[in-house]
Copies of this chain bind each other. A is one copy, B any other.
Amino acid sequence: MAKINVTIWNEFRHEKEHEGIRKIYPEGIHGAIAKGIAADDLNIRLASLDEPEHGLTDEVINSTDVMIWWGHCAHSEVRDDIVAKVHKRVLEGMGLIVLHSGHFSKIFRAVTGTSCSLKWREAGEKERLWNIAPFHPITQGIGEYFELEHEEMYGERFDIPQDGQLIFVSWFEGGNVFRSGVTFERGYGKVFYFQPGHESYPNFYNENVLKVIGNAVRWARPVFFREMSAPCYPALEEIRSVDPNAIKAGVMQNADGSNK
């Protein structure tokens, strides 16, 4: 079986601008994830906001099987046209794994259709992630729960659609709960949101966090890539109800909503 082409996208600003965070992630969050999930069946590339086209050229997008996305303070700087291309590629089959503060990224809002709002608190508290789906590919090798000594609190109500299948639900020391691992299907693509990963804690070195991300990459691998189309489709059965006075507006449409 061919290797899975993984592109890890990182905003990559905190690490450059804040010395404390650079000490935690000297090669960037994307670099830490890449090292942490490295395996023979994965081809991993990195991309980040300040590269030309955010590192997401058509060539990169079109040769990516699964994209991992971390962003935080610069969501609004991500170009709409590039988000639209990534979204289109998800619908065509590409897997998408959105981490932590990526909940507010343009791409996650685009695939969910919701505000993705939530409560938050930067208090370095303990988080315990309960495994709700022990039979799911994403949780293999994970026990009933795992803990993170310090993590940013994200709390309900998390504004996501009802088709988010629960993988993890988190307990936070300060008294909140959160749907911290949730899957979606959009078009032909699979999407996984995973809550851990604030820039100021070293949780992308945690073996459970890395195992979950690695499992999610394999789970989100495309079955195929296929363009969405909205074909004018011939009748498969004889139609006898046709109105002889019928009008045809004659407007034909492309799959992107434009007219033919």
Binding site for B on A (CB under 8 A): 14, 18, 20-21, 24, 72-73, 75-76, 87-88, 91, 93, 101, 104-106, 109-115, 117-126, 128, 130-132, 134-135, 137, 140, 144, 149-150, 153, 155-157, 159, 161-163, 165, 169-177, 179, 184-188, 199-201, 222-224, 226, 228-237, 239-243, 246-249, 251, 253, 255, 257-259
Docked Cα-Cα span, A248 to B144, in Å, equals: 27
Are the CB atoms of A121 and B234 closer together than 8 Å?
A: yes
Are the CB atoms of B163 and A128 closer together than 8 Å?
A: no
Are the CB atoms of A112 and B113 closer together than 8 Å?
A: yes
Q: Which of A113, A170, A230 has its CB near the most chain B CB atoms (within 10 A)?
A: A113
Are the CB atoms of A14 and B235 closer together than 8 Å?
A: no
Q: Write out the residue numbers on chain B whose beta carbons fall within 8 Å of the beta carbon of A240.
A: 173
Are the CB atoms of B130 and A253 closer together than 8 Å?
A: no
Given contact pairs A113-B110, A125-B239, A165-B162, A130 touches B177 in the complex (Cβ within 8 A): yes
Q: Write out the residue numbers on chain B whose beta carbons fall within 8 Å of the beta carbon of A155.
A: 130, 233
Are the CB atoms of B134 and A175 closer together than 8 Å?
A: no
Are the CB atoms of B242 and A120 closer together than 8 Å?
A: no
Q: How far is the CB of A192 from chain B (nearest CB, A)?
A: 14
Q: Write out the residue numbers on chain B whose beta carbons fall within 8 Å of the beta carbon of A125.
A: 235, 239, 241-242
Q: How far is the CB of A244 from chain B (nearest CB, A)?
A: 9
Are the CB atoms of B185 and A177 closer together than 8 Å?
A: no
Are the CB atoms of A121 and B255 closer together than 8 Å?
A: no
Are the CB atoms of B171 and A229 closer together than 8 Å?
A: no
Given contact pairs A162-B163, A237-B174, A114 touches B187 in the complex (Cβ within 8 A): yes
Docked Cα-Cα span, A200 to B101, in Å, equals: 42
Q: How far is the CB of A178 from chain B (nearest CB, A)?
A: 9
Are the CB atoms of B121 and A257 closer together than 8 Å?
A: no
Q: Write out the residue numbers on chain B whose beta carbons fall within 8 Å of the beta carbon of A179.
A: 169
Are the CB atoms of B186 and A113 closer together than 8 Å?
A: yes
